[in-house]
């Protein structure tokens, strides 16, 4: 299927690791131009190099997204380099375990800054250019917004906000033909997830417990499966899809627990 993404420009936050890296590579494989944004200069450069070696097009900007001015500069840098923005993929964030009992008001606000506020800031600054391109915004959320997890109030609140903003922006931006959707992962096998598993006292048993609760095929979702949905939503092949919160999770969030 031709997704008709040739020469379209997408900003991907956190686009050099895990799900973000898969999104960046899949967009580039479809002919899009990718601006990878994240705080890890070496990681950004590595993924850009991989894309270029595969005959794709990408560049990067090292940026601390909790800074609103840095978000504005990222948008301006992209416009100066490419002259257009066709899509914003809000992906960067971290499950930082800021909980109710042992956290603090200050840490809670910091968690919102890391996981939610830059979604708004980037969308705000990119909006004039997305109006011109009739572009797309795709927000990466988390099943935690719906299921809860325990001991991660900041992250849960932020991801709940992501879902709410997805539908709010979809409604607000209807007059500009800008589509806004969210993709929700649950258990995705990434290097960060692997590091967490290996830090536990009995990684093998914990891994088996988690996998047993994933209804479809009793396996983790791959980063590439998340990326495939994101890239489809970024394309004209999903031209009448907006305001949707789409779960790519092997049925983890919504199917009856008796199935697992």
**3-state DSSP assignment of residue 32:** coil
Q: Which two tokens stand for residue 1?
A: 């299927």
Asked whether 117 and 65 are in contact (CB, 8 A), the reply is: no
Pairwise CA distance, residues 206 & 185, whole Å:
19
Q: Report the distance separating Cα 117 and Cα 104, nearest Å.
A: 18
Residue 107 burial (CB < 10 Å; 0-12/13-18/19+)?
middle
Q: Which of 119, 129, 155, 252 is catalytic?
A: 155
Task: Tell whether the torsion through CA atoms of 104, 106, 112 and 113 is positive or negative.
Answer: negative
As a dihedral over the C-alpha atoms of residue 68, residue 74, residue 77, residue 81, rounded to 10 degrees, the angle is -160
Q: Which residues contact 251 (CB under 8 A, 6 or more apart)?
A: 214, 215, 216, 259
Spatial distance between the Cα atoms of 64 and 39, rounded to a whole number of angstroms:
5
Active-site annotation holds for 119: no
Q: Catalytic residue positions?
A: 155
């Amino acid at each position: 299927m031709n997704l008709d993404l040739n020469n379209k420009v997408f900003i991907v936050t956190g686009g050099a690791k895990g799900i973000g890296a898969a999104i960046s590579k899949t967009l580039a494989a479809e002919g899009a131009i990718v601006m990878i944004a994240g705080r890890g200069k070496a990681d950004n450069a590595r993924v850009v190099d991989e894309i270029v070696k595969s005959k794709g097009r990408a560049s990067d900007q090292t940026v601390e997204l909790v800074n609103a001015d840095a978000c504005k500069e990222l948008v301006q840098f992209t416009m100066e380099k490419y002259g257009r923005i066709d899509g914003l993929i809000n992906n960067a964030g971290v499950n930082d375990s800021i909980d109710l009992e042992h956290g603090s008001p200050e840490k809670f606000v910091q968690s919102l800054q890391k996981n939610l506020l830059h979604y708004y800031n980037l969308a705000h600054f990119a909006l004039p250019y997305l109006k011109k391109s009739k572009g797309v915004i795709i927000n990466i959320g988390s099943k935690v917004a719906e299921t809860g997890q325990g001991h991660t109030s900041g992250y849960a609140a932020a991801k709940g906000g992501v879902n709410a903003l997805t539908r709010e922006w979809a409604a607000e931006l209807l007059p500009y033909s800008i589509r806004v959707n969210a993709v929700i992962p649950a258990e995705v096998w990434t290097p960060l997830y692997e590091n967490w598993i290996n830090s536990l006292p009995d990684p093998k048993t914990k891994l088996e417990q988690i996998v047993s609760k994933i209804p479809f095929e009793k396996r983790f979702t791959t980063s590439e499966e998340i990326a495939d949905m994101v890239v489809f939503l970024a394309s004209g092949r999903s031209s009448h899809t907006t305001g949707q919160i789409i779960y790519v999770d092997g049925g983890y969030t919504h199917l009856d627990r008796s199935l697992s």
